[in-house]
Amino acid sequence: MQRTIRYDRRHDRLIFGEMERAYRDAGFAFHTSELASIKATDFRAVLTSCLADNEQVYVVEGDYDEFDDEYSPPGPVSFVQREGKLLVRVEVVTKAHEDDDEGSPEPLYRSALRPYLTRRRATLQNVEMVGSQVTSPWVWDFDIECSLRQRTLKDLHEIGHGAKALLDAFASGHLTRETTMDLLRARQADVLVGQPEGPWLDVKSSHYDLDSTQGKISLAQSVSRFANAEYGGIVVVGMKGKKVPGGEVIHSVHPVPVDGRTLRRYQSALEHHLCPPPDLLDIEHYETNGKGIVFLHVPPQPEELKPFLVHGAVVDGQVEGAFISIVRRRGEGSIPITASAIHSTLAAGRALLRRGQIPDQAGE
DSSP string of 51-115, one letter each residue: --TTEEEEEE-S-GGG--TTTS---SEEEEEETTEEEEEEEEEES--TT-TT--SHHHHHHHHHH
301 and 160 assigned to the same domain: no
DSSP, residue by residue, 334-363 = EEEPPHHHHHHHHHHHHHHHHHSPPP-GGG
Name the domain count of the chain.
2
Answer with the one of 174, 209, 234 that is the final residue of a domain.
174
pLDDT tens-digit map of 307-336? 899 998 877 677 776 778 787 766 545 555
Please tell me the distance from the alpha carbon of residue 74 to that of residue 157, in angstroms, as a whole number. Answer: 13
Handedness of CA 320, 321, 324, 325 (dihedral sign): positive
98 and 204 assigned to the same domain: no
Comparing CA positions, the residue from 152, 118, 194 lying closest to residue 41 is 152
Tell me 173's DSSP state: S
Residue 254: predicted pLDDT: 94
154 and 293 assigned to the same domain: no
Cα separation values, 215 from 147, 207, 314, 335, 352, Å: 43, 9, 10, 19, 37
Whether residue 144 lies inside any domain: the answer is yes
pTM score, whole prediction: 0.66
Ranges under pLDDT 50 in the chain: 332, 358-364
Whether residue 361 lies inside any domain: the answer is no
Whether residue 185 lies inside any domain: the answer is no
DSSP, residue by residue, 193-241 = TTPBPBTTEEEESS---TTSHHHHHHHHHHHHHHHSSSS-EEEEESEEE
Whether residue 291 lies inside any domain: the answer is yes
Q: Which domain holds residue 138?
A: 6-174
Please tell me the distance from the alpha carbon of residue 349 to that of residue 344, in angstroms, as a whole number. Answer: 9
Give CA angle at 218 (217, 219), nearest 5°: 90
237 and 106 assigned to the same domain: no
Cα separation values, 290 from 104, 188, 259, 284, Å: 44, 17, 6, 15
Q: What's the CATH number where 262 sits?
A: 3.30.950
Tell me 278's DSSP state: P
Whether residue 318 lies inside any domain: the answer is yes
Please tell me the distance from the alpha carbon of residue 269 to that of residue 271, in angstroms, as a whole number. Answer: 6
Q: How many CB atoms lie within 10 A of CB 61?
A: 17
262 and 114 assigned to the same domain: no
Please give the span between the terminal C-alpha atoms of the chain, in angstroms, as a whole number: 87
Whether residue 180 lies inside any domain: the answer is no
C-alpha Rg value of the chain to the nearest Å: 26
Peptide bond preceding 276: is omega within 30 degrees of 0, i.e. cis? yes
Residue 132: predicted pLDDT: 67
108 and 206 assigned to the same domain: no
136 and 222 assigned to the same domain: no
251 and 301 assigned to the same domain: yes
Q: How many helices (H) and strands (E) does the chain have?
A: 7, 21
Residue 306: predicted pLDDT: 87
Whether residue 89 lies inside any domain: the answer is yes
328 and 260 assigned to the same domain: yes
226 and 109 assigned to the same domain: no
161 and 202 assigned to the same domain: no
166 and 271 assigned to the same domain: no
Judging by DSSP bridges, how do beta strands 318-325 and 282-288 pair with one another? Answer: unpaired
Please tell me the distance from the alpha carbon of residue 46 to that of residue 48, in angstroms, as a whole number. Answer: 6
Residue 70: predicted pLDDT: 59
